[in-house]
């Protein structure tokens, strides 16, 4: 018998909503609202193209505000004055720097969504992902196959040594080639996979005093102990490719991620990037920036003290002209914060 999910009954007519979507483009608003309702298991979702109209529909217990980047300051003001429990998802097809800067200053921002110029709205799977992880946060990190609506092909690796790291990086590039990814995306997958593995194998492990074991020299060869070995996964449905690396330490923080990305943004536009990079841990301090800038979307999923999972997603349908200007997305899921601990 086919599996059936029980959809909860809708709230009473006129009952204030706890999810709000503010978008001035009415076509985007209507399409996004459908995705948000489905991702939230058919909760009541307030939608409007004007702030006053949206506010009139929202409950003081509002949990999620979704808006275009042009209205992000307003949404954050609402969080501070009206909806203290709310998280914020924001999107834009323009520059991401202001939105990343806002996320660095305001922990309420959990997802910053960008999309290519030829697309009319944010990717539906990203909207759904952002909603699900605020409304129904789980106690385990995202599995890479959850990103795909169909049945993706997937594989898993457990790298222990520097040689295995390099072999897996090369294997992921070969898998991308086999699925038909363009050469430019295959090269990016190789670069990003290498950075993900370096972070998990060199930066994450600590001794019983909490001191980094390998981060002081990222050029040295390593052989990890059993409890230090990360898990790398590759999955694709032919439209997207996802590369995920999870370490068993959970030491990465939201602050680390955003500081690294902002440092990379400044270095990319600076006349002398050497004055910005941070080599205090044996690297250039730009690994997180390379992952973020090289992917269509980066998903950072943290269970503090337990697991850090970073997933890089590549869109195979983006052409070479669009990929140079496509603003990347960033999702920051700290399970302790989302669970309200």
The mean per-residue pLDDT over the stretch 114-139 comes to 87
Q: Which two tokens stand for residue 180?
A: 């038909």
The β-bridge partners of 51 are none
Pairing of strands 153-157, 109-114: unpaired
pLDDT of 341: 40
The mean per-residue pLDDT over the stretch 184-202 comes to 96
The mean per-residue pLDDT over the stretch 152-165 comes to 97
User: How confident is the prediction for the chain on average, in pLDDT?
Assistant: 89
Which residues neighbour 139 within 8 Å (Cβ) at sequence distance 6 or greater? Answer: 303, 335, 339
pLDDT of 5: 54
pLDDT of 329: 97
Asked if residue 12 has pLDDT above 60, the reply is no
Digit-coded pLDDT (tens) for 73-115: 999 999 999 999 999 999 999 989 999 999 999 999 999 999 8
Map out the domains of the chain with their CATH numbers: 19-135 (3.40.50.2300), 148-338 (3.30.565.10)
* pLDDT bracket for residue 14 (50, 70, 90): low
pLDDT of 13: 56
Percent of the chain predicted with pLDDT > 70: 89
E strand or H helix that includes residue 89: strand 87-92
**Cβ distance 172 to 193 under 8 Å?**
yes
pLDDT of 251: 93
E strand or H helix that includes residue 28: helix 26-39
pLDDT of 8: 55
pLDDT of 200: 96
The mean per-residue pLDDT over the stretch 7-32 comes to 83
Asked if residue 9 has pLDDT above 70, the reply is no
Asked if residue 330 has pLDDT above 80, the reply is yes
The mean per-residue pLDDT over the stretch 142-164 comes to 93
Q: Find which of 116-120, 240-244, 280-284, 332-336 is predicted with most confidence, using mean pLDDT.
A: 240-244
b/e burial code for range 191-221 (CB count within 10 A of at least 16 → b): bbbbbbbbbbbbbbbeeeeeeeebbeebeee
pLDDT of 126: 96
Cα(10)–Cα(192) distance, integer angstroms: 43
The mean per-residue pLDDT over the stretch 191-216 comes to 94
Digit-coded pLDDT (tens) for 26-72: 999 999 999 999 999 999 999 999 999 999 999 999 999 999 999 99
b/e burial code for range 249-288 (CB count within 10 A of at least 16 → b): bbbbebebbbebbbbbbebeeeeeeeebbeeebbbbbbbb
Asked if residue 6 has pLDDT above 70, the reply is no
* pLDDT bracket for residue 280 (50, 70, 90): very low
The mean per-residue pLDDT over the stretch 174-192 comes to 96
Q: Which residue has the tokens 């430019």?
A: 184
Minimum mean pLDDT range among 9-18, 36-45, 97-106, 261-270: 9-18
* pLDDT bracket for residue 224 (50, 70, 90): very high
Residue among 85, 87, 82 nearest 66 (CA): 87
Q: Helix 183-198 to helix 287-294 angle, to the nearest 10 degrees?
A: 150
- 276 versus 17: the higher-pLDDT residue is 17
Residue among 60, 88, 84, 56 nearest 72 (CA): 88
Asked if residue 276 has pLDDT above 50, the reply is no
Asked if residue 291 has pLDDT above 70, the reply is yes
């Amino acid at each position: 018998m086919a599996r059936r999910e029980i959809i909860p009954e809708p709230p009473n007519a006129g009952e204030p909503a706890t999810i709000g979507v503010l978008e001035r483009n009415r076509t985007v608003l209507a399409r996004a609202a459908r995705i948000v309702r489905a991702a939230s298991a058919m909760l009541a979702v307030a939608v409007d193209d004007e702030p006053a109209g949206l506010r009139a529909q929202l409950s003081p217990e509002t949990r999620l505000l979704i808006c275009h980047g042009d209205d992000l300051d307003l949404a954050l003001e609402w969080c501070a004055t009206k909806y203290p429990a709310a998280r914020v998802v924001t999107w834009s097809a323009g520059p991401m720097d202001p939105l990343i800067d806002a996320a660095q200053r305001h922990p309420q921002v959990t997802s910053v969504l960008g999309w290519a110029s030829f697309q009319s709205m944010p990717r539906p799977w990203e909207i759904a992902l952002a909603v699900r992880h605020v409304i129904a946060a789980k106690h385990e990190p995202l599995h890479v196959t959850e990103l795909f609506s169909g049945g993706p092909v997937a594989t898993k690796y457990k790298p222990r040594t520097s040689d295995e790291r390099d072999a897996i990086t090369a294997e992921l590039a070969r898998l991308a080639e086999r699925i038909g990814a363009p050469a430019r995306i295959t090269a990016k997958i190789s670069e990003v996979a290498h950075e993900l593995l370096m972070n998990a194998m060199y930066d994450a492990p600590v001794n019983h005093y909490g001191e980094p074991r390998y981060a002081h020299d990222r050029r040295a060869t390593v052989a990890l102990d059993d409890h230090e070995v990360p898990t790398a996964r590759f999955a694709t449905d032919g439209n997207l490719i996802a590369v995920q690396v999870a370490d068993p330490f959970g030491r990465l923080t939201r602050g680390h991620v955003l500081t690294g990305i902002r440092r990379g943004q400044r270095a990319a536009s600076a006349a002398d990037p050497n004055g910005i990079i941070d080599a205090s841990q044996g690297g250039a301090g730009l690994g997180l920036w390379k992952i973020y800038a090289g992917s269509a979307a980066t998903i950072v999923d943290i269970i503090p003290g337990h697991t850090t999972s970073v997933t890089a997603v590549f869109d195979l349908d983006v052409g070479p002209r669009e990929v140079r200007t496509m603003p990347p997305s960033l999702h920051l899921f700290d399970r302790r914060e989302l669970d309200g601990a």
